Amino acid sequence: MTEQRILSRQNLGPLFERLAADGRRILAPVRHGDRVGFERVTRPDEVALDYVQTRTSAKSAVFPPYEPLLQFALQGKDVQVAEPAPDAAPTVLFGVHPCDAASFATLEAVFTWDTPDLPFESKRANLTIIGLSCTQGDAYCFCTSVGGGPGDPRGSDILLTPIGATHFLAEILTERGQAVARLAGELLEPHRGNGKDAALAQIPPRFDARQLGAKLPALFNHPAAWQEQALRCLGCGACAFVCPTCSCFDITDERDRYHGVRLRCWDSCGLALFTLHASGHNPRTKQSERWRQRVMHKFAYQPERLGVLGCVGCGRCSRACPVDMNLAQHAQQLAETAV
């Protein structure tokens, strides 16, 4: 159902106005000094269209860092339970790169594989993704190693690709994209046959994620594959918290004597507390076991169990890591390690 149109940069303003008039809020990358992050915007001049990568990902739009699941109150001997309505306002995620757009398939696979996760699904159902192809990457980008690419349309409802300095090629990819196209109306002009590939960044593949995933189980007990790499790992949660596909959370009740709230908050397999049992036993005693879990989960367990890779090659973890634990570099080393 892909349709190709042309969107002038001048028409972004009117497009934003029509999205707002339709009751949709817009989340887009905004630059503050050397930092770019997704924020709510109303005008296109607030949006950074030339960014390489945001510090944190766009997953907060559907999986926020903290979220109340229910509230409870003690009244006499009864417990009253209330489920807060999820904050699921119709939202357009504008200007995410193809890696981030692709990450939503992984999140969906996790959050919909069994019991419907209403806080996630309600937000996902109201989210439209207008992606932005990459015309530049950096040394940390590795989307092409994990099945993606700088112009990959997967995950986007509409994908914009810069053509020159004044226009975008707009690929309308899904029904949600069609709905935005209907709102845009004449703002989307007929396509005159400009090429897409010429504008795209060059991201050379470094390894093959599918082959790596098939090989990883045999490397599980490899004496050298994990321990040397993980010696410098500090055991924080930065990699997981900036990751667009990491979806682990912890559930905590916070309460006083009569009232409480059940929260879910992001968690990370890099933290020692992640697997600590109430008994005091911790099945992952070493940081190398935690790092191994992170790699195995992304490249072996999720593909095997859910049919999706747990990595989209955005490179955020490697940029954020205080001690330069470069995931792509380690994945490449693992791919080259003899079993």
Partner 1 sequence: MEALRQRARELLAAGTVQAVLGYAAGSEPDRARPCFVRTAAEADGLIWNEHCRQNLATYLQKPEVRALGRLALVARRSTLRALLQLAAENQLADGRVVALFVADDGAVTELPTLAAIEELVARLPRGLSDADRQELDRIAALPLGERQAYWAGEFARCIKCYACRAACPLCYCARCITEANQPQWIPVSSDPLGNLEWNIARAMHLAGRCVDCGSCSDACPEGIRLDLLNHVLAEEARTQFGAEPGYSVRKDYALASFKPDDKQEYIR
Q: Which residues of the chain form contacts with partner 1 (CB under 8 A)?
A: 34-35, 37, 55-56, 65-66, 139-140, 227-228, 230-232, 234-238, 240-242, 250, 252, 254, 263, 265-266, 268, 271, 273, 285-288, 318, 320, 322-324, 326, 329
Tokens 């357009």 label which residue? 92
Q: Which of 102, 91, 167, 105 is nearest to 135 (CA)?
A: 167
**C-beta of 271: minimal distance to partner 1 in Å?**
7
Provide the minimum distance between the beta carbon of 241 and partner 1 in the complex, in angstroms, as a whole number. 4
Q: What is the DSSP letter of 314?
A: -
Nearest CA to 171 out of 183, 158, 186, 180 is that of: 158
Which pair of structure tokens corresponds to residue 119? Answer: 């806080």
Closest distance between partner 1 and the C-beta of residue 231, in Å? 5
If the CB atoms of residues 61 and 308 are measured against partner 1, the closer one turns out to be: 61
3-class DSSP assignment, residue 21: helix
Neighbours of 10 (CB within 10 A): 11
Spatial contact of 67 and 41, defined as CB atoms under 8 Å apart:
no
Query: What's the token pair of residue 106?
Result: 């992984």
CA atoms of 171 and 63, how far apart (whole Å): 26
Pick the closer one to partner 1 by CB: 151 or 270. Answer: 270
Closer CB to partner 1, 49 or 236, in the complex: 236
Return the number of the residue (200 or 317) whose C-beta is nearest partner 1: 317
Tokens of 53: 């990568």
Q: Least distance (Å) from partner 1 to the CB of residue 288? A: 7
Compare residues 8 and 60 and give the one whose CB is closer to partner 1: 60
In the complex, minimum distance from the CB of residue 236 to partner 1, in angstroms, rounded to a whole number:
4
Complex with partner 1: residue 80 or 252, whichever CB lies closer: 252
Whether 99 and 244 have beta carbons less than 8 Å apart is answered as yes
- Closest approach of partner 1 to the CB of residue 297, in Å: 18
- Least distance CB 221 / partner 1 (angstroms): 17
Between 24 and 319, name the residue whose CB sits nearer to partner 1.
319
The least CB distance from residue 325 to partner 1, in Å, is 8
Q: Any idea which residue has 């915007």 for tokens?
A: 41
The amino acid sitting at 118 is L
Closest to partner 1 by CB, 135 vs 227, is 227
- Residue written as token pair 């050397």: 34
Nearer to partner 1, 18 or 284 (CB): 284
Question: Distance between terminal CA atoms of the chain?
Answer: 44
Strand partners, 254: 261
CA-based nearest residue to 132, from 207, 243, 60, 36: 36
- To the nearest whole angstrom, how small is the minimum distance from the Cβ of residue 334 to partner 1? 16
User: Edge-to-edge, what's the strand order for the sheet holding 25-32?
Assistant: 35-41, 25-32, 91-96, 127-132, 158-163, 167-172, 3-8, 188-190
DSSP labels, 189-221: EEP----SGGGS--------HHHHHHHHHHHTT
